[in-house]
Amino acid sequence: MQIMLDVVHALFMRELRTRFGANRLGYFWAIAEPALQAGIMVVVFSAMGRHSLSGVPVALFMLTGIMPYKLFSKLLTHLGAAVKANRGLISYRQVTPIDPIVTRLIIEFTTVIIIYVLLLAVMGWLGLSVIPDNFLKLLMAMLLLMFVAVGLGIMLCVAQLYWEDTGKIVSIVTTPLMIASGVFYSATMIPEQYWHFFTWNPIFHAIELSRDAFFPSYTTPVGSWFYLGACALISMTVALMIYRVNRQRFMES
């Protein structure tokens, strides 16, 4: 365990220098990207004469959809490429394939949470009510979504051992997935007969449950803790099984 902690710490510092050290604007864009996305949607809906969605201010509504999705997409893409990006280090006896995955998990989750808090602080400074109605439920929705993403990210790592172009397919899928995940709308804005087209998606459940936990005025009609939890459990279980079976292949690749 001590060796793993030392390796993860070394990889953590290396990742920070690689991602942000060479480009001082890296920290700025990490914050600016979700803020700009939320801002653009606020402008669009304001131009349409709508200043609230489902009884919630547009800016907060968009932010509570964008940040959970950002957490999922960042984890999926960065964890999926974690072993490939650190392949040269796997040859060292102290470094195991799971170490870069754990490192990137810590970086991405921490980064998203910090950005979430900073953007909420800015909105609070602008006069919006940014205190979640149920903080623990909000955190639980984010954590369960994180486990779904971690499991899929590990599966993606394994898939790239057999087909290196797997990551390209994921990058193609993420854009329509964002539209299908309820980032820019809620279940109450969709006719009930079409709900079944969206409820297969665990990200949709996570965003719905996040908004339900954040806003006292919004109650999700479809968000299911059981479904989201089951997806997280299945994702992590299958991922760890696949990782265990292919662990030696990681070392040899």
Instruction: Indicate if the alpha-carbon torsion angle 83, 86, 87, 92 is positive or negative.
Output: negative
Which pLDDT value is given to residue 209?
Answer: 95
Tell me the per-residue pLDDT of 220-237, one tens digit each, with 9 for 90 and over: 999 999 999 999 999 999
Instruction: Indicate if the alpha-carbon torsion angle 4, 7, 13, 16 is positive or negative.
Output: negative
Contacts 24+ apart (CB under 8 A), 91-96: 94/3, 94/6, 94/7, 95/7, 95/11, 96/4, 96/7
Which pLDDT value is given to residue 49?
Answer: 57
Q: Region 111-132: what's the mean pLDDT?
A: 84
Q: Report how far residue 116's alpha carbon sits from residue 122's, in angstroms, rounded to the nearest whole number.
A: 10
Q: At what angle do helices 166-179 and 135-162 cross, to 10 degrees?
A: 150
The one-letter code for the residue type at 199 is T
- Say if CB 168 and CB 144 are below 8 A apart: no
Which pLDDT value is given to residue 141?
Answer: 95
- Asked whether residue 6 carries a pLDDT value surpassing 80, the answer given is yes
Which pLDDT value is given to residue 202?
Answer: 94
Which pLDDT value is given to residue 45?
Answer: 63
Pick from 218, 196, 30, 201: which is nearest to 137 by CA?
A: 218
- Say if CB 152 and CB 76 are below 8 A apart: yes
List beta partners, residue 57. 52
Which pLDDT value is given to residue 88?
Answer: 75
Domain residue spans in the chain? 2-252
Q: Report how far residue 129's alpha carbon sits from residue 209's, in angstroms, rounded to the nearest whole number.
A: 19
Total-model pTM: 0.87
Buried b (16+ CB within 10 A) or exposed e, 195-218: eeebbebbbbbbbbbbbbbbbeeb
Tell me the per-residue pLDDT of 19-47, one tens digit each, with 9 for 90 and over: 766 555 566 666 666 667 666 766 666 66
Q: Region 94-120: what's the mean pLDDT?
A: 86
End-to-end, the C-alpha distance of the chain in Å comes to 24
Q: Report how far residue 189's alpha carbon sits from residue 179's, in angstroms, rounded to the nearest whole number.
A: 14
Chain center to CA of 212 = 18
Q: Please give the share of the chain, as a percent, with pLDDT higher than 70.
A: 85
Which pLDDT value is given to residue 144?
Answer: 96
Tell me the per-residue pLDDT of 150-199, one tens digit each, with 9 for 90 and over: 999 999 888 887 877 777 777 777 778 888 888 888 888 888 898 888 89
54 Rama class: left (phi>0) / alpha (psi -120 to 50) / beta: left
- Say if CB 33 and CB 69 are below 8 A apart: no
Tell me the per-residue pLDDT of 40-95, one tens digit each, with 9 for 90 and over: 766 666 666 556 666 778 888 888 888 899 899 888 888 888 777 777 777 777 87
